[in-house]
Amino acid sequence: MALPRDASADEYLRAELRFDGEAETRRFAEALAPRLGAGDVLLLEGPIGAGKTAFARALIAARLAAAGAPAEDIPSPTFTLVQTYLAGPLEIWHADLYRLSHPDEAAELGLEEAFATALCLVEWPDRLGPAAPPEALRLAFAADPAEDVRHLTLSGPSAWAKRLKPVLEAADAA
């Protein structure tokens, strides 16, 4: 995993990572998981097959395991739109908004309330329109022409830079 970045704890977060295989994506999600809690929103962007759902599954599984919850199937919410999980007292929402055609449809799912009370992972966040929380962490996934290589760009307000600094430093050392 290589990590060129131009972020410090005092500025807007922008970090770029490269994952050589799904196992590296999973390890990063597992390292990030304990730093997240209620009210955190991750906006997962990128084309189909870029790694959004694999990342979300790994993060959710890590939080469930840390809470002592039994292992469970973590399906893609493409058809259900939202899947919820309980990791101890933490509620996790995994939403896939691909099939929505207007931001009003996202409001009907109850996401606005979940943004304040749960850990939310939102795939296809462009469907939220202006309802996307400005304090969210954006994760832009991109596939590389090289087989099984993924690129991830993280961006968000300066508070994220401070919170994620240890995870990014560990990724940089890997």
Give per-residue burial for 86-123: e unless 16+ CB within 10 Å, then b.
Answer: ebeebebbbbbbbebeeeeebeeeebeebbeebbbbbb
Distance from C-alpha of 145 to C-alpha of 7, rounded to nearest angstrom: 27
Residue found by looking up tokens 């899947």 in the block: 83
pTM, to two decimals: 0.90
Domain 15-173, CATH: 3.40.50.300
pLDDT digit string (tens) for 39-65?
Answer: 999 999 999 989 999 999 999 999 999
In the numeric block, which tokens belong to residue 148? Answer: 């099984």
Percent of all residues in the chain with a pLDDT value above 70, rounded to a whole number: 93
pLDDT digit string (tens) for 105-139?
Answer: 988 999 999 999 999 999 999 999 999 999 999 99
pLDDT computed for residue 11 by the predictor: 61
